[in-house]
Chains A and B, each alone.
Chain A
């Protein structure tokens, strides 16, 4: 049975596995201090709260020194999780890390479930729901950019932005509610047109936020990029060039790559999973074998396709079949870029003719010299972002729960606007605004009926 008891002391590596020179092993729970003292060369005390103490980590048997390290004790509740917590900063050698964790487990700690530190922090009121989700995202964010987004969210950026939208909604809603609850005379106390304009304004703000999700999600979850092309056109070379290392075997023998090769790289802050495939002949066979549909699902599971051709050679039948396939089956479903590789060897006169209709998607590069590679990267970024290139300082929606709540809120607000235009009953209008508010409340976790009355009492002269 899965253990999930908050009484346990849990331990885990809290920095990315296999990355970085320094790794941090984190342990949380009432046993943390006594357990670390069984391994550490010095005896930490409660008074050492927040002090970085250098020393060595030994096995519990004290037969073998495992590593030199710095150990910091945080006394609960003044720690990340709100419990007693220890951080051991050691060298980023996976073998050593494993050994340290194993020793701690021998002594009685257990391995933390994914996200369990965060969960404890949340349960101990060290963070609110949207912060907790942001932390969960930090754990997953694989790149600088994703990290930056998550950090801003942690600092309450999301709550702030949504808070200000919510404030405006409350103001609008109170205008209607006042009319319903406090105005006994049948005169309208607000300007319909003004309210409509303000609502439209809000819609725009929400739309903008929602739009950021399209790429916010990409930052968060990463992008799958598929390299497709005939054998020997230079797919593996391009992969190596983009990844800046010799990841895939390159040779002039067609059919070198027999299987899929994946590599994680970063382009303009996007975490990208590049998938290098075997040559197109097999792919087209595959299309024939498994039927166009299944091939398409395969392509559809990627966010971007690089369709690669040789620039200096005349395109043959396979190339043409591939082009047809792109035009009829991929276009409009998955974005793709047509890459003419080996540009250093010159350009065949007929190539462009065959690519008629795809000119705007064309980039000429050389995987050998690296020529035009920046342009390709740029094109990749543009294609992914569409016209919504993210600005550096912006709040980006990266969380599906937030997106859904915003979506619903938007829908309600839209109905409000249509309703006000077509003269729908005010009670209905008010209830649309109320649902719009409630959905936003789901993100920041607040209740609105009381807020509304408070606002009314504070701002308006009501009551006979």
Chain B
């Protein structure tokens, strides 16, 4: 089985005999954030993972961020997490996505050098005080009186702890499929984790099965890039972290190519040996991330599908064929790839595959990510049914923070839906029935206009600083930004532009000229004229940072909309703040539908607002609940009046 290596070079005994405050099982993206947060909050922390050299490994595409995910990374950073900094250190292709659309959906994305990312993560972990790495498999846990006491390693060693965070990713009873071949594995080339699912099921948890897939990697030198469309990175690159000054690594391009009808025919010819189409795989895969064979079958009339060839690093030759996830047999993968322009001579370094794994439907956790039934036990990352590094990291961070806060006997940190994508993520996990791996989308955030990537600092740094993860000087920088924004807003409210100042600009940007002096604020509402130009025309000393300008421009242009969203937030908070008492007995409400009652008993919502978001709970059930909560409240107040 596994070697037990104490990478910090203390003797194994010392490590195992020591009682930890918090133990994290899994050194993936969730585990890293959880471990760092816990250790940084002063907890004696152990990160138990299958192999220390795969800590921070990127299982799939070595890209961080992207639509909606970029927001998550910025939020992680604002709270004091690590992912943004790691990405900035090793990113080789930065790009702001959705730049032609509204600022609310601009999303930073970066491709990382895959090996460098893992190395950077390992470095941070090893250098962290209060944090030990133990190479082992967590196979079970000890629970007394509904409270975690210890993690069980490799089936027999006991590692006492006060809180245990499980971040096992795709490893729990992981099984890989390539064509009709299947073997036990958590990720290409790695063994799965056994025993833990069964131990949790014995404790009463419900497990399910999901599936995901990845494309083949090909050798850079086997691709003919001539004639392929080049996609250049942004210059200058916008870093992820609010603390990063600039990006120093050299940047590389990606290339775009397309499948051809011939490719589709080849893919179809392999369907009889597809683990998906032959029914071997039972787990549900993500619909938003379909395999190439799925796309070809389901959208048969599409003549071509776009593929991105993305380098996995500067010094290693792997190219990730984005858009070509597949679990078809080897011969088909190769033939189909070679039918694509530029890849006629492609050499596959690693085959594409599908992986099936256990997860724990996330209604079993609360907003703190602590499980309902076992105190001190937390789930974070893909084990909760999500997919993606960013989703995992966000949960890991929140689990680490909340485990630490609980041990410090402080209030938990729960972000609500109007304040962060992280809030949306966790709230959705708890309330929605997860049928497929959950990925973040901006459309999941009802307050999308308020949650921009560039204002994550303004939204969340107070929290990060308050709990102790964010240094004071970073907070001060944010406060300075806020002040500058406020002063710019004030200025723009005071200044008027004369026709002489404004009309040349109007002509330049095809805007209507003015005939009398007009408030700058008012002119800023014109979508066609950039703020920067207006400020110059108005003689407002520039030197404002891009983020500040975006912010000011956004809130002036969309004042009315923002006001309405804020009103909606207020409305949302109102129903959110109608608590459902913990001892409320849903069985005492005869008129709830059975389905809803089951769901409510499962999720145990903390408020009426949360109850209304649980999937499967009908609108009319909420009305019913309202009536009965009212009744319950009246009874309570009657009783207290009688007893007092």
Contacts and interface: CB of A to CB of B under 8 A. Distances in A.
Contacts of A434: 446
Interface stretch (B26-34, B93-101, B122-130, B198-206): B93-101
A129 to B, nearest CB: 6
B584 interface: no
A179 B446 contact: no
A134 to B, nearest CB: 14
A425 B101 contact: yes
Interface stretch (A118-126, A260-268, A321-329): A118-126
Contacts of A22: none
B384 to A, nearest CB: 18
Interface string B614-628: 010011100110010
A445 B442 CA distance: 23
A462 B298 CA distance: 11
A407 interface: no
Interface string A306-321: 0000000000000000
Given A182-B67, A427-B449, A123 B290 contact: no
Contacts of A464: 289, 306, 308, 322-323
Contacts of B287: 457, 463
B66 interface: yes
Contacts of A124: 590-591
B137 to A, nearest CB: 33
B98 A184 contact: yes
A171 to B, nearest CB: 14
B620 A181 contact: no
A390 interface: no
B105 interface: yes
A181 B67 contact: yes
B428 to A, nearest CB: 9
B299 interface: yes
Interface in B591-644: 591, 593, 613, 615, 618-620, 623-624, 627
Interface stretch (A8-16, A199-207, A446-454): A446-454
B102 A128 contact: no
A425 B298 contact: no
Interface string B195-213: 0000000000000000000
B289 A431 contact: no
Contact of A425 (B306, B442, B558): B558
A450 B614 CA distance: 11
B443 interface: yes
A340 B627 CA distance: 56
B619 A461 contact: no
Interface in A428-464: 428, 430-431, 434, 445-447, 449-450, 452-453, 457, 461-464
Given A425-B102, A445-B618, A450-B615, A123 B442 contact: no
Interface in A415-430: 422-428, 430
A186 interface: yes
A371 interface: no
A124 B589 CA distance: 10
Contact of B441 (A129, A184, A453): A453
Contact of A129 (B302, B323, B443, B619): B619
A177 interface: yes
B102 A462 contact: no
A180 interface: yes
A177 B591 contact: no
B288 interface: yes
Interface residues of B, number: 51
Given A123-B627, A181-B443, A463 B288 contact: yes
Interface in B425-467: 432, 441-444, 446, 448-449
Interface in A287-335: none
Contact of A186 (B98, B322, B443, B446): B98
Contacts of A428: 102, 449, 558, 561
Contacts of B105: 180-181, 426-427
Contacts of A179: 101
B363 to A, nearest CB: 15
A88 B64 CA distance: 71
A464 B326 CA distance: 12
B305 interface: yes
A450 B287 CA distance: 13
Contacts of A427: 101-102, 104-105, 448-449
B295 interface: yes
A125 B620 CA distance: 8
B295 A461 contact: yes
Contacts of B624: 123
B443 A177 contact: yes
Contacts of A431: 448-449, 561, 565
B68 interface: yes
Contacts of B104: 425, 427
A181 to B, nearest CB: 5
B527 interface: yes
A461 B102 contact: no
Contacts of B289: 463-464
Interface in B92-126: 97-105, 109
A453 B591 CA distance: 31
Contacts of B68: 181
Contacts of B442: 180-181
Contacts of B593: 125
A182 B288 contact: yes
A444 B105 CA distance: 30
B288 A426 contact: no
Contacts of A445: 618-620
Interface in B300-344: 302, 305-306, 308, 322-323
Contacts of A423: 527
A431 B443 CA distance: 9
A128 B620 contact: yes
A434 B104 CA distance: 15
Interface string A192-212: 000000000000000000000
B204 to A, nearest CB: 28
Nearest to B100: A186
A445 B623 CA distance: 11
A418 to B, nearest CB: 12
Contacts of B557: 425
A423 B529 CA distance: 13
B288 A457 contact: yes
Contacts of B290: 461, 463
A464 B295 CA distance: 10
Given A428-B561, A463-B290, A180 B591 contact: no
A422 B512 CA distance: 14
Nearest to B617: A447
Nearest to A423: B527
A162 to B, nearest CB: 14
A462 B101 CA distance: 18
Contacts of B441: 177, 181, 453
Given A125-B593, A428-B558, A461-B295, A449 B527 contact: no
Nearest to A441: B619
B443 A452 contact: yes
Which 9 pairs show the lowest CB-CB distances between chains A and B?
A445-B619, A425-B102, A427-B102, A123-B591, A457-B287, A186-B100, A461-B299, A463-B289, A464-B323
Given A426-B105, A453-B443, 13 more contacts: A122-B620, A129-B620, A179-B101, A181-B441, A184-B98, A186-B98, A422-B527, A427-B448, A431-B565, A445-B618, A449-B446, A452-B443, A457-B287
Interface of A: 6, 82, 122-125, 128-129, 177, 179-182, 184, 186, 422-428, 430-431, 434, 445-447, 449-450, 452-453, 457, 461-464
29 contacts: A6-B590, A82-B591, A123-B624, A124-B590, A125-B591, A129-B623, A177-B443, A181-B443, A182-B67, A184-B67, A184-B98, A186-B98, A423-B527, A427-B104, A427-B105, A428-B449, A430-B443, A431-B448, A445-B620, A449-B444, A449-B446, A453-B443, A457-B287, A461-B295, A461-B298, A461-B299, A463-B288, A463-B289, A464-B323
